Structures are given as structure tokens and as C-alpha cells.
Amino acid sequence: MARPAPARYAIGMNVMPSSSLAEFTDFTGCTVVITGASGVVGAGIAERFAEAGARVVIHYRSGRARAEALQRKIEDNGGQAVTISADVGRKQEVQQMFADIATDQPVDVLINNAGHYPLSSIVDMTTAEWDAVMCANMRSTFLCTQSVIAYMKAARHKSIVNISSIESQHVMPMHSHYTAAKAGVNMFTRSAASELGRYGIRCNAVLPGLIWRQGIEAEWPEGVAGWRKSAPLERLGRAEDVANACLFLSSTAAAWITGAELRVDGGVLSSKAF
């Protein structure tokens, strides 16, 4: 008697059905929450998921005008978007935010993108500066992840992507608080992947390098020149580079990827010149 063909993607007693290529980037009917979406990277992520058919939730704390402009841009292009404001460093506000978002459908994807990126030396740094960076980058990631779990169990994609940084793996001057926070985000990502897998929730991190924004060449010409010289791909990153990584990690193409750290840096950490 011939042996039956093995089930595809079988793990123990659970079987994950295979997806067609068309389904890999189809987020139609899904809700995707992006924190800090009024900034350059967050806006790029929001636009990409909207293009993939998702209902995008644009979170902001203080950038209301930019968030609302992004919502209009997405809607003008035929997408779905709403804006919501909250301080993601405050537990009560985070809990209320997700309760408001998930009134009629689950949250499929959470992109923890909110963050704070100041410059300060260890010698001169105040405890308030240290705490502000830890709150914006680490505490917010923890609070949003903890709060979204209950609203994600019935979702289709069940993906959390934390925006870290290559600085979590490479020391930069004046950024001890930021590098420490992002290294913590990496380890939290691994811990969340380990604990939340039982619910089918995947958790991964994206580590961007230097991302282009309007005016950066004029503000930091030596830094931009040095980056381009060091990067094998000889350019700065773009918001869509980070967005594409988030889309992939949240798609069914990455159904067996969790606890991963994906560098999106043009290869700069592979360069001896960096």
C-alpha cells in the first residue's frame, strides 16, 4: 500500500495550509496598526499596507496634521485608513486605543514603530533623557504588544513587527540610551516570539539603517557621504524598504518565521569601512 503524501507545513498535529503567490501580499479585510505613523518610516509602512488592501490605523501622539494628511493621501488612492491618538508610554491610553480600534474586528498586524532618537553623551545625559528614550522605544513596544494579544487571537495574520535599529548591534556615539533601548527591543522580540507562539502570534524585528528624509543631506552632509561610501548598495534606505520588510514578515510567505531580526541597511553592517 502506498504511503499517503505528507501534509504540507505539518508541525506536530497542526497543519498550516499552503498559500498561493497572490495571497502572500493580500491583506484585504485585515486591520494593521502602525504606531508613530506620522513620521517618515511609519507613513511609508502605512502606505504599503494600504496598497495591499489593509485597513490601516495611523497612530500618532503629537503629529496630528501629518497623520490626517496621510489618511487623506491613502483614501485618495483608494485605500482605507483611520487616525488615532495616544501616548503609547501610558498603559491606560494604550489599552483604550486597542479597545477603540478593535470594536468590530480583530487586529491582524501590529507594527511597533513609535520611538525617540535624541543625541546625548553618557557624561551629560540626565535621568529624564534616559527614561524618555526607554519609554518611547521599549516601554511602548511592551505595552502595545501586551495590549494587542487579546484582539489578535481571532485574526488571520497574527503578526507583530518591532522596528528596532542596526544601532542595536553597532555602537554609535551619543546614543547609549537609544542603542540600549533597541537592543532591549531585540531581546523582547525573541521573548515575545517564544511566549506568544502558542496563540499563533508571530513576533519579528526589523533593523533599519540610515533612512532618507527630506533635508537630511543638508543637515548631515558628512554622515550621508560616509554612509554611501560604506554601504555596499551605495545609497540610503527609503521608507518603502522598511515597509516591504514589514509586509513580508507579516505575510503568509513568512508563516514559519518568528523571533527573527531582519537587517534592512543596504549591507552596511557587512562593510569593513563602517
How far is residue 64 from each of residues 18, 141, 263, measured CA to CA in Å?
41, 21, 30
Question: Dihedrals φ, ψ of 58, to 5°?
Answer: -95, 105
Cβ pair 187, 272 in contact under 8 A: no
Among candidate residues 9, 60, 178, 199, the one labeled active-site is: 178
Active site residue 178: yes
Q: Which of 61, 99, 95, 60 is nearest to 81 (CA)?
A: 60
Active site residues: 178
